[in-house]
Amino acid sequence: MAMAALRREGRRFVPLISPQPISAVQSSLISQEQAPLGVRSISTQIVRNRMKSVKNIQKITKAMKMVAASKLRAIQIKAENSRGIWQPFTALLGDNPSVDVKKNVIITVSSDKGLCGGINSTSVKMSKALHKLTSGPEKQSTYVILGEKAKAQLIRDSKNNIELCITELQRNPLNYTQVSVLADDILKNVEYDALRIVFNKFHSVVSFPPTVATVLSPETVERESESGGNLGELDSYEIEGGETKGEILQNLAEFQFSCVMFNAVLENACSEQGARMSAMDSSSRNAGEMLDRLTLTYNRTRQASITTELIEIISGASALKG
């Protein structure tokens, strides 16, 4: 009777993929490491694989956080220096986001890569809200998209309103020459009365609110100036030389747009790296917490398995004696 019971126990705990059956005594003495795919060790094996995966993910997120921090320091200096370029234009021509015009072009600045929180979704939501405000029966509102992430979101429901899409802007280090060529291409391909640039303005690593900068066309600036609109200090200057006021306004508007675009792209790139730092830091902390829980689960499962092994050995020895 005792030998029959041992044989039944041996058949019960034979490893699932073992090519040859083993005896009851051998199966009860097999350790967790020697039977990786047996009935006894299948749960601990899964937990170990999961722990290994979480550790690898944690290493990756920590590395990505350090890379984002190094990039942030380099871009932040450029962004702070670029603020002094467009601010004189704002003082001269003003920044009037509430101006009512017929042709509006909304330029949405976003990133080409993900894993940076919700900054791209925020810019897209702001762009859609602007599109609703500037649309009407006698008005035209279109999009110019910078970045792959905004393109993927806006192309779903606003495909017919997209004039131009530009991606991979940050493949090379950003400089004014590159952005000025980009601004010139935009001005050649769109007709506008007002350009509204939507981007994330960098304040700190955890604060980058969506911002709208408005650049008016020379005709709109001249019309607003004649009607007494809010245009900064433009009317306090006298025009000298052979150029007319329209030609000067044309040059100022183009230069203003390139400067505002340069600052917007740098501010958004800085916000992207700050958001990626925060996201990767949160991911690393979450991976650490998950690893602690998996370690506890693994230890409990392993202890339960060892206890079960001891009980079976004692039971088998008692059955042999009886």
Distance CA 186, CA 190 (A): 6
List of residues 6+ apart from 246 with CB closer than 8 A: 218, 222
The tokens for 92 are: 């001269």
The bridge status of strand 210-216 relative to strand 194-200 is antiparallel
The ranges assigned to domains in the chain are 82-277
Distance CA 216, CA 253 (A): 7
What pLDDT score does 16 carry? Answer: 36
What pLDDT score does 4 carry? Answer: 45
Long-range contacts of the stretch 152-158 (C-beta < 8 A, 24+): 153/120, 153/121, 153/124, 154/108, 154/124, 154/127, 154/128, 158/128, 158/131
What pLDDT score does 95 carry? Answer: 72
Distance CA 233, CA 305 (A): 81
List of residues 6+ apart from 208 with CB closer than 8 A: 119, 200, 201, 202, 267, 270, 271, 274, 275
241 C-beta neighbours (distance < 10 Å), count:
7
**Tens digit of pLDDT per residue, the chain (322 long)?**
433 443 444 444 344 333 443 333 333 333 444 444 444 445 788 889 999 999 999 999 999 999 999 999 989 999 999 888 877 877 777 777 778 889 999 999 999 998 898 899 999 999 999 999 988 888 899 999 999 999 999 998 888 999 999 998 888 888 899 999 999 999 998 999 999 999 999 998 889 999 999 998 888 887 877 766 656 666 667 777 667 777 888 888 889 899 999 999 999 999 999 999 999 999 999 999 999 999 998 998 888 888 988 999 999 888 888 6
For residue 136, what are the β-bridge partners? 139
- CA 284 to chain CA mean position, Å: 16
What pLDDT score does 104 carry? Answer: 93
Distance CA 165, CA 115 (A): 21
What pLDDT score does 230 carry? Answer: 59
> Any idea which fold 82-277 has?
Pyruvate Kinase; Chain: A, domain 1 (3.40.1380)
What pLDDT score does 280 carry? Answer: 94
Answer left, alpha or beta for residue 117, where phi above 0 means left and psi between -120 and 50 means alpha. left
Distance CA 69, CA 205 (A): 10
What pLDDT score does 85 carry? Answer: 84
pTM to 2 decimals?
0.77
For residue 79, what are the β-bridge partners? none
